[in-house]
Amino acid sequence: MPSLLYVCVRPETGAADAEHASFRRALGADVVDRLDLLQTSLDTEQLSRYKGVVVGGSPFNVSDTVKSAQQQRVEADLEKLAAVAMDAQIAAFFTCFSIGVLTRMLGGQVGTATPEPASATVITATPAGLEDPVFGPSGAALTVFTAHKESAEHTPPGAVLLATNEACPVQAYRVGTHMYAAQFHPEPTPRDFADRMTFYRHTGYFDPEEFDAVQRQVLSASVTEGAALLRRFAQTFG
């Protein structure tokens, strides 16, 4: 039986399918089950089947002033999932949009002052990050892919900051021992990320007129540490 679950929060089926494949490869697992929160509400009792859960990205934003009923339900389900993880009943790795849900849940603020375009960027591990079993082995500097319009303004109450950079100070944090959250996308290869860009060409993550140039930069980037984080997450908790 699979010990890992991928939680999908992307409305775009093609992007979601590709993201699932990216997570499966990065986690080093032959089988990673999938739960699409856009189609099915979370049943927390089903989480007992798994040792670890990873949450993918989404074009949703916690700071959106107008939200559909679907987005509101997805955010509520992610909070339920986070509560289970923080009770150490299951390990979880939230990414992208879902770090905003967790930040708000913990009493932190999510704002739009520190966005990052679709690109490879270097983040720096904090002293706590260097001691963390998932982040520590990657060393002081990690190159990862980012693309977001909002982020946590500060490390939320109860969380331990694991990684940072000047452009977006809250890149990753941990709550307790089993709950991880990252603003960046740990799972894609350069090819994966370049292909994903085609689904979001006109959604504000980069100038659509610069698509070809941005895609070339993505494809030329050397990005491996995101996948290494997920592999260690799977080995530690899966």
- Per-residue pLDDT reduced to its tens digit, 7-29: 999 999 999 999 999 999 999 99
| 44-98 pLDDT tens trace | 999 999 999 999 999 999 999 999 999 999 999 999 999 999 998 899 999 999 9
Label residue 5 left, alpha or beta by phi (over 0 means left) and psi (-120 to 50 means alpha). Answer: beta
Q: Which residues contact 161 (CB under 8 A, 6 or more apart)?
A: 126, 128, 129, 155, 170, 172, 173
Q: Which domains can be identified in the chain, with CATH numbers?
A: 4-237 (3.40.50.880)
Burial of 54 (0-12, 13-18, 19+ CB in 10 A): buried
Q: Is the pTM of this model over 0.85?
A: yes
Burial of 34 (0-12, 13-18, 19+ CB in 10 A): middle
Are residues 61 and 100 in contact, defined by beta-carbon separation less than 8 angstroms? Answer: yes
Closest CA to 148 of 99, 183, 194: 183
Cα–Cα distance, 149 to 157 (Å, whole number): 22
CA–chain centroid gap for 154, Å, is 17
